[in-house]
Structure 1
């Protein structure tokens, strides 16, 4: 049975990216001392953090791979490409399933170029289409049914992105949200944990937490 995650090309790229991501705390934001993330636009935030990876954990990536392999979605949507670490896990699973495509969206031009190069080096670029721009615009016309949705962009936009795509989620679709320990995820968590909104949801204990929700 094929496991693209174990291929030398994918392992080499992931090892390099995770090592580079360890320096996130040492990267100074170009926004300056007077820069406020709370009042900045999404584009301003993306530009200010263009050099910061903000990756999922390796355990979270392995979980994503497993979920895609098991669910076999024809359309996977990712909010927040960054440098493409999570995208590689998703694309590897799609490649091994032999069916499907990953549609991922990113606002930073720097990160788009880097992610495309990383996907190409890992050998999984054919499974991915990067949509450049604001997710609320780029994802507006994404066709359904969406079988798996990964929310890993700006935390205050995770709920708006989910609501934007909700009518295109397949019955039983999986919605995975990363970094649920962040206070800015509180509205999102309240929404998916309210049964009348149509989800069965579970917190998964990986770094910074993941919420896995099934669209019922």
Structure 2
């Protein structure tokens, strides 16, 4: 007997395929950013300058997120850094198939938010997704716990401040997933040093998917 799942829904499959195809142009778009932009620009400036860059999770990374959400059945999934919403669709598809839960996601770029909201509506997953516009250090400050799955995929130097802010609301056994740990090893170093220090209460495993993912379990 074949069991269908939401990632196989033609509307979702089409949207994800389309966005992955468009993301193939990312390198060209990235080359047009001012030299040193990633290091020197403020988050909002950078978000506006990078509005044309998809910066997606990898296809396997998306499937891993789907499986994690299915397995732990979180009531609330929090995503820092939605971009155009490829990872968000994987999270919301899993929430839909669990029959319970919601996804709260954050993004600075107005352009990306407008495009993603259209995509969420066309895939029929918009009822499960709340998009918060602005700096995640402000927009996520008021979120109520307990939180059971957090995806950190926004600007890398903000991953640690966002985690520290959400930490009091992480329930024991909560999973925190950070993407691109190999690609952005420098900016990710403070975050990785923090979660890998046993004194801070996490058990970690690095997944060799695309640019690397760090999965940390709150003890």
TM-score (norm: length of structure 1): 0.96
What SS class does the counterpart of residue 214 from structure 2 fall into? strand
Cα distance in 2, alignment partners of residues 198 and 148 from structure 1:
16
1:75-114 mapped onto 2 (5 Å cutoff): 75-114=76-115
14, 18, 21: which one aligns with 2:20: 18
- Listed as ranges, the matches of 1:11-160 within 5 Å are 11-27=13-29, 32=34, 36-160=37-161
Q: Which 5+ residue runs of structure 1 have no aligned equivalent?
A: none
Moved runs in structure 1, 4+ residues, more than 4 A?
Answer: 28-33
Give the deviation of 1:166 after TM superposition. Answer: 0.1
Match of 1:195 in 2: 198
Shift of 1:28: 5.4
CA 1:204/1:28 → structure 2, altered by over 3 Å: closer, same or farther? closer
Q: 1:54 to 1:147 in 2, by over 3 A?
A: same
1:90 to partner: Cα distance: 0.2
Secondary structure of 1:56's partner? coil
The number of residues matched between the two structures is: 215
Distance 2:206 2:200 in 1: 17
Structure 1 residues 78 and 67, CA gap change in structure 2 (3 angstroms): same
Question: Aligned partners of 1:36 and 1:173: how far apart in 2?
Answer: 34
C-alpha distance in 2 between matches for 1:149 and 1:135: 13
**TM-score computed with the length of structure 2 as normaliser:** 0.95
Secondary structure in 1 matching 2:54:
coil
2:189 corresponds in structure 1 to 186
Partner SS state of residue 180, structure 1: coil
Deviation (angstroms), 1:23: 0.6
SS in 2 for 1:113: helix
CA distance in 1, matches of 2:136, 2:31: 22
- Which sits farther off after the overlay, 182-191 or 148-157? 182-191
| 8 A contact 1:30–1:48 mirrored in 2 | no
* 2:213 is equivalent to residue 210 of structure 1: yes
Distance in 2 between the 1:209 and 1:63 partners? 12
Aligned to 2:38, what secondary structure does the other structure show? coil
Bigger shift: residues 21-30 or 137-146: 21-30
